[in-house]
Amino acid sequence: MRGPRRAMIFGRFQPFHKGHLSIVKWALERGYDEIVFLVGMASENYTPRNPFTAGERIEMIRLSLQDEGIPLGKAITATIRTLETSIGSVYYVLSYVPRVDTILTRNPVIAKIFLDAGINVETPPLFNRDEWRGERIRKLIAKGDPSWKEAVTPSTAEFIEEIGGVERLKWLIARD
């Protein structure tokens, strides 16, 4: 039995934003039944580049999907520690997730190593990249600019505030 068609999105999701969500919608429109979210660099948090924990990022993914009416049954989440990018790491990565048909990535290095390992890769289009980019969102949060909330779903913005994410980023950036 073949099972559901699955696409994997491998990212840091710092934070999970509308660009990520647009890729999910794009993949579902292309006929994928489930999306596997592999939260990378799960062993790194409380840094300016990776301020949120793996668990917090998973929660943001779930909240964002719920905000958009995407059934949580279409999402599978997994985490993986920080690791070097190499052909050998492809097999390691794939051991952390259920079977996937395709990797969705815009990262050329990630695409190349998965392609070299014989895994199908699709490059999703850019969705409002200037506005929906993790680095930009983190900087806006740290500056206290409320416009960052436009780049994430309402429940994700509320969650970031509830966990002290705004204060955390301000503190992390000030110490950097």
Domains in the chain: how many in total? 1
Residues 99, 6 contacting (CB under 8 angstroms): yes
Mean pLDDT of the chain: 92
Indicate whether 90 belongs to any domain.
Answer: yes
Indicate whether 64 belongs to any domain.
Answer: yes
Indicate whether 83 belongs to any domain.
Answer: yes
Indicate whether 1 belongs to any domain.
Answer: no
What tens digit of pLDDT does each residue of 34-80 get?
999 999 889 899 999 999 999 999 999 999 999 999 999 999 999 98
Indicate whether 164 belongs to any domain.
Answer: yes
What tens digit of pLDDT does each residue of 79-90 get?
988 766 666 788
Q: Is 104 a residue whose pLDDT tops 80?
A: yes
Q: Residue 33 is part of which domain span?
A: 6-175
CATH number (domain holding residue 27): 3.40.50.620
Q: pTM for the complete prediction?
A: 0.92
Q: Which of 62-71, 91-100, 106-115 has the highest mean pLDDT?
A: 62-71
Indicate whether 99 belongs to any domain.
Answer: yes
